[in-house]
Amino acid sequence: DIVMTQSPDSLAVSLGERATINCKSSQTVFYSSNNRNYLAWYQQKPGQPPKLLISWASTRESGVPDRFSGSGSGTEFTLTISSLQAEDVAVYYCQQYYTTLTFGGGTKVEIK
């Protein structure tokens, strides 16, 4: 199985500042035949299910604010919130779908 490792476990960021979350996979999730990274990011607020933010490592879902962006390829990925808003307080998970489905351990984002 592909193991997904996120860092940090938690971070506190001031409103309006940048938040950066890292995700590393134990093997590549890049499929060369279609040039795609099989990596998604979810946001989960307390008492709610995960919400899909980004697929294919960098494609934002419809309705997701453009302050959220994803980058990376192969085994290393990043979710960036360019200007943290109060409603962005949540736990963020990466998930690979290259083979079976595995999630990272999560990163809790709080306001400093």
Partner 1 sequence: QITLKESGPTLVRPTQTLTLTCTFSGFSLSTSGVGVGWVRQPPGEAPEWLALIYWNDDKRYSPFLKSRLTIAMGTSKNQVVLTMTNMDPVDTATYYCAHKYDIWSSYWYYFDYWGQGTLVTVSS
Residues in touch with partner 1 (CB under 8 A): 1, 38, 40, 48-52, 55, 61, 93, 95, 97-106
Nearer to partner 1, 17 or 61 (CB): 61
Q: Report the alpha-carbon distance of residue 101 to residue 105 in Å, rounded.
A: 13
Nearer to partner 1, 24 or 51 (CB): 51
We find the least distance from the C-beta atom of residue 17 to partner 1, in angstroms, to be 25
Q: How buried is residue 25: exposed, middle or buried, by Cβ count under 10 Å (0-12/13-18/19+)?
A: buried
We find the least distance from the C-beta atom of residue 37 to partner 1, in angstroms, to be 12
* Residues contacting residue 57 through CB under 8 Å, at least 6 positions apart: 36, 37, 39, 70, 71, 72, 73, 77
Nearer to partner 1, 16 or 32 (CB): 32
